[in-house]
Amino acid sequence: MKEKRPVKHPKAKARQTQDSVPKKNERSKAVKPKSSDGQKKWVKDKNSTSNDGQSTRKSAIKNTDKNNAKRIEKNADRSKVNNAETSADQGVQKRSKAYSERTNERKRYKDKGSRSDQGKRREQGAARISRPVTMVKAIKVTQTYADYVVTPPCPIFETCGGCQLQMFNDEGQLKYKYSQLIDLLGKFGKVEPIEGMREPFHYRHKTHATFSYSKGRPRRIIAGIFEEHSHRVVETENCLIQDERANNIIQSILALMPSFKMIPYDEDAEKGFLRHALIRTAFAHDGVMVVLVGGSPIFPAKRRFTEALIKKHPEIKTVIFNINSRKTSMVLGNREEVLYGSGYLEDSLCGMTFRISPKAFYQVNPEQTEKLYREAIKMAGLTGGERVLDAYAGIGTIGMVASTGAKEVISVELNKDAVRDAIRSARDNDVKNIYFHQADATEFIEQMAATGEKADIVFLDPPRSGSTPAFIKAVAKMKTDRVVYVSCNPETLARDLALFKSEGYKIVRIKPFDMFPWTGHVETVVRLQRQNP
């Protein structure tokens, strides 16, 4: 946030008193600075000895040099802050200009669904291609962060908009995020330090590229991501936060397109073929999933193209062709065809193996996710006799990890592909005390509360839009003893914590994790305790 600086008023002209005006016979006298007791001390006049005069002149020169050095240092610090402010503001101004210039363009591509529908998108497995709205609206570098300012390592930092904090080093971006969390969540209790990453680069294990023609002449096919607040593709060869395997595969797809006469899809003209490439890379395994998204169901030479891609990248375990012919901001359509492999990816987390289909939700940073899940299970305080509800469950990761310390786990997820993956993963891991339900989380828990059922512990990991007042009221109605809330949006988390507090819950712990380095996003896990059992 921009810090307010004190306004410097123009200097008033100093009034000279009669004592301050030297007399004719006193002009040769030198004056020392005020002493510690605030009194002026006069040195000997021109009739003093030469040694005393030299000593006085040396002292004056020494004091002058010291003052000049301080002034130079102060100006250098001020220059450093001003340069940092200018560097940060340039990126903000460019993105703000792009935002205002393309308001109509965003409206044209905006989904027509209601706000409640938008809140369910992650449960339905719909990945958005527009850049996420973050809590970082405009970042002003002040003296607080001046020591952390660096040259952004990404060459397209100012035009892309995906990483808002690359003007800081790792320590600086964590400090900035923590200050934002304090502002939003500090009123609920102590916010513990953010758990950072050892290597905060190439951490995204799910990424997608969009294909388009370049604007220059001659035109060439480019691959990249949408510029913030627009549908203009920014060419990206090596994204610093995406898995390097994914970066290499995207470049291979780009190189193969001309020889197979594959044309990038034009959203305005509704012509062309290849829209996106969605790539998932396993964290604990070597497998890679590639999803090619086409604008039409006709994919000429799809077998030969798949063979050529796998020859370049034998680490690819499955290739899927997804058809999305709608004019929408959703990456994936409803129709799929498996071109190679099983059609899903396997990865391990917290000692369990999970199946991941193209549309299923799975955390993009497994390294930090494992730390977060272990902390969430610790906060729950499982003793082996609890009935646990895992809401907004995705592919059932939290619920299955918790099942080893609970009596029974009920997993609720709206996305049918994710539920199918969860059932298969439970069977593969021999988990027998977990039950899966394909349903809206709010509707399901309201039904539980209405029929008198109870859950001792509730885990919830909602989308960025947060949970709902009806869900929170149902938790209170069931008299659930402990709630563990995993949030990817501090703003909606603060809103929901206030609702929980009004329903008689006390916030016991707040622990943030840096799941998305260099961006404005923070993942936070919170433990809540019912005050009146």
Known catalytic residues are 488
Q: How far apart are the C-alpha atoms of 99 and 406, rounded to whole Å?
A: 49
Q: Measuring CA to CA, how many Å separate 45 from each of 23, 107, 177? A: 13, 81, 62
Tell whether omega for the bond before 218 is within 30 degrees of 0, i.e. cis.
yes
**CB-CB neighbours of 145 under 10 Å:** 22
Compute the Cα dihedral for 454, 458, 464, 469 and give only its sign: positive
Give the CA-trace dihedral at 372, 374, 377, 382, to 10 degrees: -170
Q: Measuring CA to CA, how many Å separate 329 from each of 31, 105, 108, 481? A: 75, 12, 10, 40
366 CB burial (10 A radius; 0-12, 13-18, 19+): buried
DSSP H helices, 331-465, are 366-380, 397-402, 416-428, 441-450
Q: How far apart are the C-alpha atoms of 457 and 428, rounded to whole Å?
A: 25
Q: In 3-state terms, what secondary structure has residue 106?
A: helix
Q: Measuring CA to CA, how many Å separate 390 from each of 60, 387, 403, 406, 424? A: 75, 10, 10, 12, 17
CA atoms within a 13 Å half-sphere pointing along the CA-CB vector of 211: 27
Q: In 3-state terms, what secondary structure has residue 109?
A: helix
Q: How far apart are the C-alpha atoms of 427 and 439, rounded to whole Å?
A: 21
Q: How far apart are the C-alpha atoms of 302 and 322, rounded to whole Å?
A: 12
* Alpha carbon 498 to its chain's center: 23
